[in-house]
Amino acid sequence: MADTPKPVGAAPVDAARVDPVDLVDRTILVTGVTGQVARPLAIALARSNTVYGAARFKDTALRDELTAAGVRCAPVDLVSADLAQLPERVEFVLNFGVVKSNRWSVDLDGNTGGTLALAERYAGIATAFLHCSSGAVYAPDHDGLLGEDHDLGDSHAVWPFLHTYSICKIAAETAARYAARRHNLPTTIARLNVPYGPTAGGLPDYHLQMMAAGMPVPVFGASEAAATPTRYQLLHDDDTVAMIPGLLAVAGVPATVLNWAGPETVSVQEWCAELTALTGLPATFDYTEATLGSVVMDLTTLHERVGVARVPWKEGLRAMVAARHPHLARAGADAPSPIG
């Protein structure tokens, strides 16, 4: 039987910050590696580590891109818990896999069962397990500040195409919590707000595409007169990568739960105005209660224990437009990634 790993930063959430994990020459598994957040993360980590990327790999072009970047691709099926092609040993598991078929049995099996299967597979082997969750787990609270102890709820039920999402993310967190205790597996559950960046875009990029197509951007509110700004906290790809060592360092038993986002609170209206400044495309808005309201997280624990994201949102948007839509960028808007 493998030795039980020594807990990494296994301390209560009010503990002082610990030194980040040194992610050089380590062996790392990244699940959901073809996704928006995990793909640039895995590519960045592969520059100085042995990185295995797990996904179904239905898109061969994405698999080829990852392989060319040094990621060792390993097909998995989290729904059936088929992990046979995963490596026998890894030091860190970064679980970014998510199943969004909109079918309850499939999504519960993939997100909950898949998380349990991964944790069991690397129990007694991995040093730490990072489970990427979402601000989607919180009950809707458009004008509130969401601490880690805020009520949970089905915020994404307003979107028919994601009606299983919030419940399955809550269930997956429950699985990660249980697995941490059951297997003595140091775990961090990080509730991600709005990721974005030059690789896969994110919500601001979707809004830019809507603006380019002449479509109104949905914002929460019964009417323009009654609405307050729909606010989020963006997290740039570069900050996602930079904060992984700290998130792993605070992994504990029981699992450490953290909100994960950038420090600036920005409204949809503000970032659409900035996209207009960068491209010249006008933004119009559709005020509706059939969309997500604000998600503004209390980041006190993240800042105390892990650190603060660095990329200013305006610089991040400029880099996103330059990388993904250079034909839309006004002269002078072209810029490299903020951190590089």
Range from 108-122, 186-200, 296-310, 322-336 carrying the lowest mean pLDDT: 322-336
Task: Name the pLDDT band for 236 (thresholds 50, 70, 90).
Answer: very high
Could you tell me if 147 and 210 lie in one domain? Answer: no
Q: Is the pLDDT of residue 208 over 60?
A: yes
Q: What tokens were used for 210?
A: 């809507």
Question: Considering the domain boundaries, does residue 4 fall inside one?
Answer: no
Mean pLDDT of 28-54: 98
Could you tell me if 41 and 89 lie in one domain? Answer: yes
Question: Considering the domain boundaries, does residue 179 fall inside one?
Answer: yes
Total domains in the chain come to 2
Whether 270 contacts 118, CB under 8 Å: no
Could you tell me if 102 and 226 lie in one domain? Answer: no
Q: Is the pLDDT of residue 201 over 60?
A: yes
Q: Produce one character per residue of 139-168: b if its CB has 16 or more CB atoms within 10 Å, e if not.
A: ebbbebebebebebbbbbebeeebebbbbb
Q: Is the pLDDT of residue 10 over 50?
A: no
Q: Is the pLDDT of residue 144 over 60?
A: yes
Distance between CA atoms of residues 97 and 296, nearest Å: 24
* Model confidence pLDDT, tens digit, residues 149-192: 999 999 999 999 999 999 999 999 999 999 999 999 999 999 99
Could you tell me if 31 and 76 lie in one domain? Answer: yes
* CATH number (domain holding residue 286): 3.90.25.10
Distance between CA atoms of residues 244 and 23, nearest Å: 9
Give me the pLDDT at residue 3, please. Answer: 40
Q: Which of 249, 309, 267, 303 is nearest to 127 (CA)?
A: 249
pTM for the full predicted model: 0.93
Could you tell me if 57 and 103 lie in one domain? Answer: yes
Question: Considering the domain boundaries, does residue 242 fall inside one?
Answer: yes
Q: Is the pLDDT of residue 339 over 60?
A: no
* Model confidence pLDDT, tens digit, residues 251-263: 999 999 999 999 9
Distance between CA atoms of residues 41 and 94, nearest Å: 10
Could you tell me if 100 and 118 lie in one domain? Answer: yes
Could you tell me if 186 and 243 lie in one domain? Answer: yes
Could you tell me if 227 and 114 lie in one domain? Answer: no
Task: Name the pLDDT band for 118 (thresholds 50, 70, 90).
Answer: very high
Whether 96 contacts 31, CB under 8 Å: yes
Could you tell me if 137 and 269 lie in one domain? Answer: no
Task: Name the pLDDT band for 200 (thresholds 50, 70, 90).
Answer: confident
Domain encompassing residue 211: 201-233+265-295+312-324
Question: Considering the domain boundaries, does residue 12 fall inside one?
Answer: no
Give me the pLDDT at residue 331, please. Answer: 74
Give me the pLDDT at residue 197, please. Answer: 97
Question: Considering the domain boundaries, does residue 117 fall inside one?
Answer: yes
Question: Considering the domain boundaries, does residue 164 fall inside one?
Answer: yes
Q: Is the pLDDT of residue 319 over 60?
A: yes
Could you tell me if 182 and 72 lie in one domain? Answer: yes
Distance between CA atoms of residues 38 and 329, nearest Å: 26
Q: Is the pLDDT of residue 336 over 90?
A: no
Whether 156 contacts 162, CB under 8 Å: yes
Question: Considering the domain boundaries, does residue 7 fall inside one?
Answer: no
Could you tell me if 213 and 254 lie in one domain? Answer: no
Task: Name the pLDDT band for 17 (thresholds 50, 70, 90).
Answer: confident
Give me the pLDDT at residue 332, please. Answer: 61
Question: Considering the domain boundaries, does residue 116 fall inside one?
Answer: yes
Q: Which residues neighbour 23 within 8 Å (Cβ) at sequence distance 6 or greater?
A: 45, 48, 49, 92, 244, 245, 248
Q: How many CA atoms lie within 13 A of 146 on its CB side?
A: 31
* Model confidence pLDDT, tens digit, residues 265-318: 999 999 999 999 999 999 999 999 999 999 999 999 999 999 999 999 999 999
* CATH number (domain holding residue 53): 3.40.50.720
Could you tell me if 208 and 242 lie in one domain? Answer: no
Give me the pLDDT at residue 308, please. Answer: 98
